[in-house]
């Protein structure tokens, strides 16, 4: 791709209109979609230090130079542009059109000329085991790009839903459980987006409690094209800048009530 072709694609992406959200159909239209954002990788500490320096800078040119050389901030800003265009707000989990807005957001992110789509996969796991812990660990193991301590947050979220299903005599839980946003900062900067849909059912038949579960985990991995960023940084900077620490906050749902109990909040 020539520089001219890249800049043309960039202008098209940056100025794409916000698309109207299609009418939502389905019985789970008002299911809360809980989100979490984490920063991982060997350069995560550097990214957070750069965010602090970015906010402390008083000279616009100095601020731009920090932004231009901070690939984590580049990723968080690009993701935020796509999020705002889609109207998706992770801090409002009860938005009845949240799922459609998220799908629009995901589509916009994948079209961003800064990223190479490394893979997009969906894994389905079915279980009739009475032991939810085994299933929960199996689901957590599908989350690539997460260090071990961050998997604990995934396990905690899944456990919350499992308890709801298991503690009722006859209940069915169907949820678009959560979105996990990951920026991995190392020699290669990458974005991982995970979504998890779950059907859990627990019923007592003839005095025996039976449990059935179906999880669908979708994974999208995007690698950031560092070589293209110097050419694009000014165009993006002139539109908006979102520091990595603000991205973490803006994409993490905070549980304020018992309407939903599945919130991932741990950070690397």
Looking up residue 108, the CATH number of its domain turns out to be: 3.40.198
Lowest mean pLDDT among 89-93, 100-104, 263-267: 263-267
**Residue 255, domain member (yes or no):** no
**Residue 265, domain member (yes or no):** no
Does 21 have pLDDT greater than 70?
no
| DSSP-derived pairing of the beta strands 170-184 and 34-40 | parallel
Q: Provide long-range contacts, Cβ within 8 A and 24+ apart, for 152-159.
A: 152/266, 153/36, 153/38, 153/264, 153/265, 153/266, 154/180, 154/264, 156/264, 157/34, 157/262, 157/263, 157/264, 158/198, 158/262, 159/132, 159/133
Does 259 have pLDDT greater than 60?
no
pLDDT at 87: 92
pLDDT at 240: 95
Decide: 219 and 119 in contact? Cβ < 8 Å: yes
Decide: 191 and 109 in contact? Cβ < 8 Å: yes
**Residue 267, domain member (yes or no):** no
* Average model confidence (pLDDT) across the chain: 76
**Residue 24, domain member (yes or no):** no
Quote the number of domains for the chain. Answer: 1
pLDDT tier at 189, thresholds 50, 70, 90: very high
**Residue 261, domain member (yes or no):** no
The alpha helices in the chain, defined as continuous H runs, are: 3-14, 44-56, 60-68, 71-86, 98-111, 132-140, 148-166, 229-237, 244-250
Mean pLDDT of 81-88: 94
**Residue 20, domain member (yes or no):** no
**Residue 209 domain boundaries:** 31-250
**Residue 245, domain member (yes or no):** yes
pLDDT digits (tens, 9 = 90+) for 31-64: 556 777 888 888 999 999 999 999 999 999 999 9
pLDDT digits (tens, 9 = 90+) for 113-167: 999 999 888 877 666 655 556 666 666 666 655 556 556 655 665 565 455 444 4
Lowest mean pLDDT among 62-76, 123-137, 209-223: 123-137
**Residue 129, domain member (yes or no):** yes
Does 29 have pLDDT greater than 50?
no
Does 86 have pLDDT greater than 80?
yes
pLDDT tier at 99, thresholds 50, 70, 90: confident
């Amino acid at each position: 791709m020539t520089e001219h072709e890249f800049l043309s694609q960039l202008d098209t992406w940056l100025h794409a209109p916000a698309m109207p959200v299609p009418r939502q159909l389905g019985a789970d239209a008002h299911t809360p979609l809980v989100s979490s954002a984490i920063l991982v990788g060997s350069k995560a500490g550097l990214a957070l230090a750069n965010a602090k320096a970015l906010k402390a800078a008083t000279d616009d040119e100095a601020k731009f130079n920090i932004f231009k050389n901070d690939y984590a901030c580049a990723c968080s800003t690009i993701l935020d542009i796509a999020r705002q265009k889609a109207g998706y707000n992770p801090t409002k989990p009860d938005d009845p059109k949240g799922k459609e807005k998220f799908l629009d957001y995901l589509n916009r992110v994948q079209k961003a000329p800064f990223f190479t789509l490394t893979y997009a996969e969906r894994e389905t796991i079915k279980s009739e085991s009475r032991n939810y812990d085994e299933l929960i660990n199996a689901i957590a193991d599908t989350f690539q790009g997460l260090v071990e301590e961050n998997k604990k947050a995934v396990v905690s979220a899944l456990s919350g839903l499992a308890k709801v299903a298991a503690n009722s005599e006859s209940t069915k839980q169907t949820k678009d459980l959560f979105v996990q946003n990951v920026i991995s900062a190392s020699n290669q900067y990458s974005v991982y987006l995970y979504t998890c849909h779950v059907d859990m059912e627990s019923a007592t038949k003839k005095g025996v409690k039976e449990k059935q579960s179906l999880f669908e985990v979708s994974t999208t991995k995007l690698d950031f094209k560092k070589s293209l960023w110097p050419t694009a940084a000014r165009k993006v900077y002139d539109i908006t800048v979102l520091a990595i620490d603000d991205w973490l906050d803006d994409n993490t749902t905070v549980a304020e009530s018992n309407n939903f109990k599945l919130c991932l909040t741990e950070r690397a």
